[in-house]
Chains A and B, each alone.
Chain A
Amino acid sequence: MLRDEFDVCVIGSGAGGGPVAFSLAQAGYSVVVLEKGPWFQDKDFFKDEIACCRRSEYKPDLREEPQMVERQDVNDKWEARSTREAGINFWNGNCVGGSSNFMSGYFHRLKPVDFRLKSSFGNLPGANIVDWPISYEDLEPYYTKVEQEVGVSGRVVSHPGAEPRSTAAFPFPPTNEHPIAKRIDVACEKMGVHSIPTPRAILSQPHAERGGCSYSGYCGSYGCATGAKGSSRAALLGRAVATGNCVIRPHAMVSHLTSDAKGRVTQATYFDQTGKEVHVRARVFAVACQAIESARLLLRSTGPRHRQGLANGSGQVGRNLLFSGGGAASGSLPYAEMDAEQAPSYRQIGPFINRSLQSWYVIDDPVFGEPVKGGTLDFIHRSPAPIARATRQVESRQGFVWGKPLKRQLETHFSESAYVKVEAFCDWVPHDNSFVGLDPVVKDKWGSPVARVRAGFHMHNLQIGWYLAAKGAEVLEKMGAREVLSFASGSPPANLQAGGCRFGNDPAHSVLDPDCRAHEAENLFVSDGSFMPTGGSVPYTWTIYANAFRVADKIKSQLGPILA
């Protein structure tokens, strides 16, 4: 007989689920983790571009589990299309550890100003900017905890925009650096701006059961075979299971959370691998399916006190969905312009660039009038994935390139230059046209309505994105890069999701209370990035991990002492 009663039921095993499962199992509570995907080990991950990136083998089949995406047509009308044909996929990795298995692990903390965006800069027309109900100081101890428990490597440097830290150094030294990093430092020094070593959720040396980074060269989008990458699976879930208090159930697709007449959640229902429905009861439920799917699960879990969906009495579930706003720049460094010793060191693919700039985290430039919130620039290698790179060589204004001209172009592309990319991250301004709901028609293979995402962007994203991308391009020019390009985009990056279940003090305008407990269901917590009312100007995952450790502490105090 499968056990069907636990202290805590965690739904989704990624960055938002792992810390809750780990902390509560370590504290002695019984925990079950329900994860819709399979459970891979380090040894199951290979560098196979076709598997990860062309057939999306770690994501659901979109014929069986599509999502719908709404885009504005030429007449400004919102048109919905299935992700099966829309060229975007909001699933990011569905297996134990979730998309944290496939992240690149560029880790940044938020800064104090991110917790009070509205009081610092005011609201924008058409936007729903609010302050957070907690401060940076409340989250700081948990950022530090992530450094230790998930493993963050790096080097602390002082710079004008640095956020306060409670420890002097990272617990792990930085990962090996590519010579391009030095070139960025020199260029930034000439420009009078501070280049910062980017912290990484990657172990630079072996630790406990995990190996150190082997510099495989193919990191983001690929699973890690050494355990060095700080996925929830490698860093936390193995240790949670080892306590003897945590059970992980892969292939468990949670379709419904049942609630009672008081509004409390009583059980989770999931479909197992054979399609059979299974029920699990628990004292507390923590939902962490990644923002879009977490909102979807709440919306379809109606109950006697939750007629519009779980915790959705005020109609807030799914609203103010966030992605990461921004832009990008790129340039090439031709080997022919390097000396004989330099070129081979630039050709190596293992070491990381690991540099970022936060000199424009707040922009004080007359072009904007008043100071505005800016963002972060991350310098990275162009993805080495050869098929993706080659397919871009096929396109030209005149039509496809093929035959011998294609072959010559491939030879040039792959052999003549090193490439540097700059990714610019700014706040995704929350507003009414960025939300997730349930599609009224389309169902997944189990018969549940699929998520319908409207990912409209606020013009402010583009203005800041352009500004930051141009700054990135300036650094590239200063480095002597050729073919420098920069652009901003309003398209949502599908892998960086947050919001949809804002936390706040006012139940009329938020789904969760400051502890990330649902205002309307006292034993329901949401522990992924959904809680964020504004996203900050960095990728989210360090904050998701940190907050999930904080939520675990709140759950512990709610559960009280462990009963024998």
Chain B
Amino acid sequence: MNNLDKPMKRRRFLARSLQGLVLGASSLSALEAAARDLQLQLASEEMGISAGQWEALAAVLDHLLPSEPATKDQPFRPGARDVQAMGYLKLVLRDPKLDPEDTRLLQEGVTALEERCLKRFQRRFPDLSSSEQETLLRDFEKTLLGERWLGEMLDFLLEALLGDPSRGGNPDGMGWKWLGITPGFPLPPRNSRDSLK
């Protein structure tokens, strides 16, 4: 990625996500949530992941678990964006119990992927076609870093899909419903992890 790009992309990313949240907000708590989200993004960037890299991560997650809307023959089958995998990932990175090695792996992986992407396609990962993304990821998987990083991404993705909703993914147990999974009980209260959000 071109370094000059960074500040602008970062501002645009923040502005857009704040707008999205505030426009949809009808209560004070939603505004607070928006403010928290902003803080979260700032904190995440301090962890060394730029706004552009977040966009690349989102595109990778979408590719690994694509959303499949309902059709007349098929029910809705949720993908990464439906289960809020990105929001989940950001919360995970803020968890003080997460091993800094995991954070470093995430950063190194996305940086290496972007470099490979620009070198091979002269475009950014989110701008590639699905088959180009597949080619790039399969190539990346053959490297040691790529294999470890993709393993980590898939792990976090499945946590977002099938973890407890109080953790930030799997809204309303959407992943459980899709796969017919009966969760145990009692489940954690909805707000039990608000301090992290």
**B159 part of interface (Cβ distance < 8 Å):** yes
Q: Tally chain B residues at the interface, Cβ within 8 Å.
A: 40
B166 touches A (CB below 8 Å):
yes
Q: Mark B23-38, 1 if CB is under 8 A from A, else 0.
A: 0000000000000000
**Is B132 an interface position by the 8 A CB rule?**
no
Binary contact track B103-144/A, C-beta < 8 Å → 1, others 0: 000000000000000000000000000000010011001000
Q: Do residues B166 and A391 form an inter-chain contact, with CB atoms below 8 A?
A: no
Q: Which of B6-14, B45-53, B60-68 contacts A (4 or more CB under 8 A)?
A: B60-68
User: Of B77, B164, B181, B188, which is within 8 A of A414 by CB?
Assistant: B181
Determine, out of A174-182, A216-224, A291-299, A315-323, the stretch whose residues face the partner at the interface.
A216-224
A415-B155 Cα distance, complex, nearest whole Å? 21
Q: How far is the CA of A273 from the CA of B147 in the complex (A)?
A: 40
Number of A-B contacts (CB under 8 A): 103
The contact string, 1 if C-beta is below 8 Å from chain B, for chain A 360-386, is 000000000000000000000000101
Q: How far is the CB of A273 from chain B (nearest CB, A)?
A: 16
Min CB distance, B138 to chain A, in Å? 7
A217 to B134: give the CA distance in the assembly, Å: 38
B159–A387 CB distance below 8 A: yes
- Bound together, the chains give a CA A217 to CA B76 distance in angstroms of 27
- Listed stretches A398-406, A439-447, A473-481, A530-538; interface member: A398-406
| Chain B window 140-157, contacts with chain A (Cβ cutoff 8 Å), 1 for yes, 0 for no | 010000010011001100
Stretch of A54-62, A200-208, A305-313 on the interface side? A54-62
**A46, CB-defined interface residue at 8 Å:** yes
A403 touching B134 by the CB < 8 A rule?
A: yes
Contact of A349 with B180 in the complex, beta carbons under 8 Å: no
**Residues of B contacting A391 with CB < 8 Å?**
154-155, 158
Choice from A51, A386, A394, A402 contacting B176 with Cβ under 8 Å = A386
When each residue 48-92 of chain A gets 1 if its CB lies under 8 Å from chain B and 0 otherwise, what string results?
111100110100011100000000000000000000100000000
Q: Which of A55, A57, A390, A399 has the most CB of B within 10 A?
A: A390
The answer to whether A55 and B97 have CB atoms under 8 Å apart is yes
B141 and A400: CB pair below 8 A?
Answer: yes
Are B162 and A387 interface neighbours, CB within 8 A? yes
Please, which residues of chain A bring their CB within 8 A of the CB of B73?
none
User: With A50-B163, A55-B97, A349-B182 known to touch, is A407 a contact of B188 (CB < 8 Å)?
Assistant: no
Please pick, from B141, B163, B182, the residue contacting A49 in the complex, using a CB distance under 8 A. B163
Instruction: Kindly state whether residue A145 has any CB partner on chain B within 8 Å.
Output: no
Docked pose: A218 CA to B187 CA in angstroms: 11
Known: A400-B154, A404-B66. A47 touches B184 (CB 8 A): yes
Complex CA distance for A49 and B158, rounded to whole angstroms: 12
A386 to B186, CA, bound (A): 16
Which of B97, B98, B159 has the largest number of chain A CB atoms within 10 A?
B159
Q: Does A341 contact B (CB under 8 A)?
A: no
CA distance A391 to B150 in the complex (A): 12
Q: Quick check: is A241 within 8 A (CB to CB) of the other chain?
A: no
How would residues 154 to 197 of chain B score, 1 for a CB under 8 Å from any chain A CB and 0 otherwise? 11001101111011000000011001111111111000100000
* Of listed A54, A386, A400, A414, residue having the most chain B CB within 10 A: A386
Residues of B within 8 A of A407 (CB): 65-66, 68, 77
Question: In the assembly, what is the distance between CA of A550 and CA of B66, in Å?
Answer: 59
Check A483 for interface membership: any CB of B closer than 8 A: no
Question: With A47-B186, A63-B99, A217-B184 as given contacts, are A390 and B158 in contact (CB-CB < 8 Å)?
Answer: yes
| Chain A residues positioned under 8 Å from B192 (CB to CB) | 46
**Is B95 among interface residues, defined by CB-CB distance under 8 A?**
yes
Most buried by A among B77, B151, B158, B163: B158
Most chain B CB atoms below 10 A, which of A54, A216, A403: A403
* Pick from B151, B187, B188: contact of A400, CB under 8 Å: B151
- Chain B CB within 8 A of A339 CB: no
Expressed in whole angstroms, the minimum distance between the Cβ of A391 and any Cβ of chain B is 6
**Minimum Cβ distance to chain B for residue A46 (Å):** 4
What chain A residues lie within 8 Å of B151 (beta carbons)?
394, 400
B-side contacts of A54, CB under 8 Å: 159, 163
Q: How far is the CB of B143 from chain A (nearest CB, A)?
A: 12
Q: How far is the CB of A519 from chain B (nearest CB, A)?
A: 42
8 Å CB interface, B52-102 against A: 63-66, 68, 77, 95, 97-99
Q: In the complex, how many angstroms separate the beta carbon of B90 from the nearest chain A beta carbon?
A: 15
Contact A387 B158 (CB under 8 A): yes
Q: Is A50 a contact of B179 with CB atoms below 8 Å? A: no
- Distance of A216 Cα from B185 Cα, bound (Å): 5
A49-B164 in contact given A384-B184, A415-B180 (Cβ < 8 Å): yes
Q: Taking beta carbons and an 8 Å cutoff, which residues of A are in contact with B?
A: 46-51, 54-55, 57, 61-63, 84, 214, 216-218, 222, 225, 349, 384, 386-387, 390-391, 394, 399-400, 402-404, 406-407, 410-411, 414-415
Given contacts A47-B184, A49-B162, A386-B181, 7 further A-B contacts (CB under 8 A): A54-B163, A349-B182, A384-B181, A384-B184, A386-B183, A403-B65, A404-B66
